[in-house]
């Protein structure tokens, strides 16, 4: 089930919220768990049992790890839990990648498994791992299987994050505050996220599809595609995160922020502090720091960065272009730490251009079907192959999608937020916003409903990871 669907917006969500607030406090997690399983089973019924098994194993390991926490057995149990949980992810997501590469190297005739990737497995796997490790580090294990299952399967963030760590939400599972103000703020955040998805990300995705289908590509068309996908993935994923945070707020949960205007960054280091924050902090706390972080000398730190970014790339997909993507950022972050950061501090304009260019190149690699296509796309951006600088089809699509590209470029910066903040500083402006905002949100919902009825929407990009 998609957030951006009539079924979810006008049937599933209203019924879930109604039941949630009608039942007594002790049953709220039961309602949330049941709704989450229905939500997941709606689109992935055959893998609901896998999700349930993962939760039950995490629950059992959590209790055992806590019991033997200060003994050698506790460490062994924690490692076993991580290995078992990761084994499901490796089997479903990476088995064919390894088999195909073994075939390529050895020539052995190995049949691929061709497994369907369970939706959300990359996200809920990391949440179970964070739970077990947090318990090993001192967090109290969850005694209620229902509460733990409600945490892992919570439908607002189950499919594509943010990756909510157990330590961030443990207290909220048993005691959280509900208020009309919190619910209203959650609805506002949800509508804004939905608008990002339907009105910007999906339209930018259409431009990317037009580019792929085109037989008259030009250098400018390659750059338009690169800009369109870079904006699309931002609005698609940050829109999903906004919706998850918004729905979580309706249910009284404070889900951590996942994006902070990454495209205004002055360095790649800053970019990764602003982009997919929950994944970055997860790798920092559960991989980078346990490897030694920056505590064991400069060269060990650089090695740790390489490991983290190779894993980050591989987490996103079982293909060499994702590994190449991770390696690119490992190299850039290493170069910045060694000497480039000091150079970039001298010019805010140059530093921002540098950052945006490499992020752009990175997402071209990220969105390619394979390394060959990535190289071809990057080559097209510099005119390799005798491509024309511009073409009639390019101009046509620039006219067709120019407004959405411009809107996306502005929306990816804090300009609108800052403008609204300045208006609200004045008493008259604040009163105007109190009236304009709900009316504007209602109009947005009407417009987006029209798009959904027409069937012009796409699945979220991060569903495939």
Complete DSSP assignment for 84-107: HHHHHHIIIIIHHHHHHHHHHHH-
Mean pLDDT of 280-309: 90
Let me know: does 252 contact 180? Beta carbons within 8 Å.
Answer: no
Residue 316 among the catalytic residues: yes
pLDDT-derived band at 43, boundaries 50, 70, 90:
confident
Percent of the chain with pLDDT strictly greater than 90: 63
User: Confidence class of residue 459 from pLDDT cuts 50, 70 and 90?
Assistant: low
Is a pLDDT exceeding 60 seen at residue 462?
A: no
**SS3 at position 418:** helix
Q: Within 13 Å, how many C-alpha atoms sit on residue 156's CB side?
A: 31
pLDDT at position 427: 72
Which pTM does this prediction carry? 0.91
What average pLDDT does the segment 226-241 reach?
Answer: 95
**Spatial distance between the Cα atoms of 119 and 121, rounded to a whole number of angstroms:** 6
Model confidence at 176: pLDDT above 90: no
Question: Chain centroid to CA 2: how far?
Answer: 15
- What pLDDT, on the 0 to 100 scale, is given for residue 345? 81
Q: Is the peptide bond before 104 cis (omega within 30 degrees of 0)?
A: no
Instruction: Write the CB contacts of 410 (distance below 8 Å, at least 6 apart in sequence).
Output: 416
Question: Which tokens is 209 given?
Answer: 């599809």
What is the C-alpha to C-alpha distance for residues 211 and 387, in angstroms, rounded to an integer?
A: 14
Nearest to 265 by CA among 230, 294, 297: 230
Position 455 scores a pLDDT of: 67
Q: What's the gap between Cα 360 and its chain centre? A: 17
- The CB-side HSE value for 396 (13 A sphere, CA atoms) comes to 8
Separation CA 37–CA 369 (nearest Å): 32
Query: Residue 67 is encoded by which pair of tokens?
Result: 């019991």
Enter the tokens of residue 462. 């991060």
Mean pLDDT of the chain: 89
State the Cα–Cα distance between residues 348 and 351, nearest whole angstrom: 5
Backbone angles phi, psi at 367, to 5 degrees: -90, 0
| Distance (Å, whole) CA 407 – CA 401 | 10
Spell 165-202 as b/e; 16+ CB within 10 A means b: bbbbbbebbeebeeeeebbeebbbbbbbbbbbbbbbbb
- For residue 207, the model assigns a pLDDT of 95
Would you say 266 and 352 are in contact if contact means Cβ atoms under 8 Å apart? yes
- Quote the DSSP letter at residue 464: G
- Residues 373, 322: Cα–Cα separation, whole Å: 12
Q: What is the pLDDT of residue 430?
A: 66
266-290 mean pLDDT: 94
pLDDT computed for residue 458 by the predictor: 64
The answer to whether the CB of 97 falls within 8 A of the CB of 113 is no
Diameter of the chain measured on Cα atoms:
74
Q: 233: closest CA among 264, 268, 196? A: 196
Does residue 465 register a pLDDT over 80? Answer: no
Q: Is 130 left (phi over 0), alpha (psi -120 to 50) or beta?
A: alpha
* Phi, psi for residue 344 in degrees, rounded to 5: -65, -30
Q: Which of 178, 276, 316, 426 is catalytic?
A: 316
Q: Tell me which residue of 64, 198, 70, 197 sits closest to 132, measured CA to CA.
A: 64
260-to-81, 257, 265, 412, 465 alpha-carbon distances in Å: 33, 8, 10, 10, 22
pLDDT tens for each residue of 133-164: 999 998 889 999 999 999 999 988 888 778 88
What CA–CA distance (Å, rounded) separates 425 from 420?
A: 9
């Amino acid at each position: 089930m998609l957030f951006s669907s009539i079924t979810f917006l006008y049937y599933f969500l209203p019924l879930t919220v109604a039941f949630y607030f009608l039942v007594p406090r002790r049953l709220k997690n039961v309602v949330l768990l049941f709704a989450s399983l229905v939500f997941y089973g709606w689109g992935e019924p055959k893998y609901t049992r896998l999700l349930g098994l993962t939760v039950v194993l995490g629950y059992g390991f959590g209790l055992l790890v806590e019991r033997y926490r200060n003994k050698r057995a506790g460490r062994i149990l924690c490692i076993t839990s991580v290995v078992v949980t990761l084994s499901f992810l490796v089997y479903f997501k990476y088995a064919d990648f390894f088999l195909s590469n073994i075939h390529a190297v050895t020539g052995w005739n190995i049949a691929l498994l061709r497994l369907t990737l369970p939706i959300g497995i990359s996200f809920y796997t990391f949440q179970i791992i964070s739970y077990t490790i947090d318990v090993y580090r001192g967090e109290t294990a969850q005694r209620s299987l229902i509460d733990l299952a409600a945490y892992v399967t919570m439908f607002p963030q189950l499919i594509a994050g943010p990756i909510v760590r157990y330590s961030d939400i443990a207290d909220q599972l048993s005691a959280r505050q509900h208020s009309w103000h919190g619910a209203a703020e959650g609805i506002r955040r949800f509508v804004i996220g939905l608008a990002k998805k339907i009105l910007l990300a999906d339209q930018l995705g259409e431009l990317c599809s037009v580019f792929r289908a085109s037989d008259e590509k030009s250098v400018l068309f390659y750059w338009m595609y690169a800009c369109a996908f870079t904006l699309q993935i931002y609005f698609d994923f940050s829109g999903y995160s906004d919706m998850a945070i918004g729905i979580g707020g309706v249910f009284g949960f404070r889900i951590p922020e996942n994006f902070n205007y990454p495209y205004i960054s002055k360095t790649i280091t800053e970019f990764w502090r602003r982009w997919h924050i929950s994944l970055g902090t997860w790798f920092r706390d559960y991989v980078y720091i346990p490897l030694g972080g920056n505590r064991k000398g400069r060269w060990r730190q650089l090695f740790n960065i390489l490991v983290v970014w190779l894993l980050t790339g591989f987490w996103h997909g079982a293909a060499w272009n994702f590994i190449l993507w991770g390696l690119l950022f490992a190299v850039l972050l290493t170069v910045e730490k060694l000497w480039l950061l000091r150079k970039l501090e001298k010019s805010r304009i140059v530093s921002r251009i540098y950052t945006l260019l490499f992020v752009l190149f990175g997402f071209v690699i990220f969105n390619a079907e394979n390394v060959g296509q990535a190289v071809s796309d990057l080559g097209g951006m510099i005119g390799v192959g005798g491509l024309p600088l511009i073409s009639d089809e390019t101009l046509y699509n620039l006219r067709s999608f120019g407004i959405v590209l411009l809107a996306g470029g502005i929306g990816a910066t804090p300009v609108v937020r800052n403008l609204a903040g300045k208006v609200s500083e004045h008493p008259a402006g604040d009163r105007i916003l109190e009236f304009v905002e709900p009316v504007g949100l209602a109009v947005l919902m009407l417009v987006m409903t029209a798009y959904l009825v027409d069937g012009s929407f796409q699945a979220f990009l991060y569903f495939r990871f």
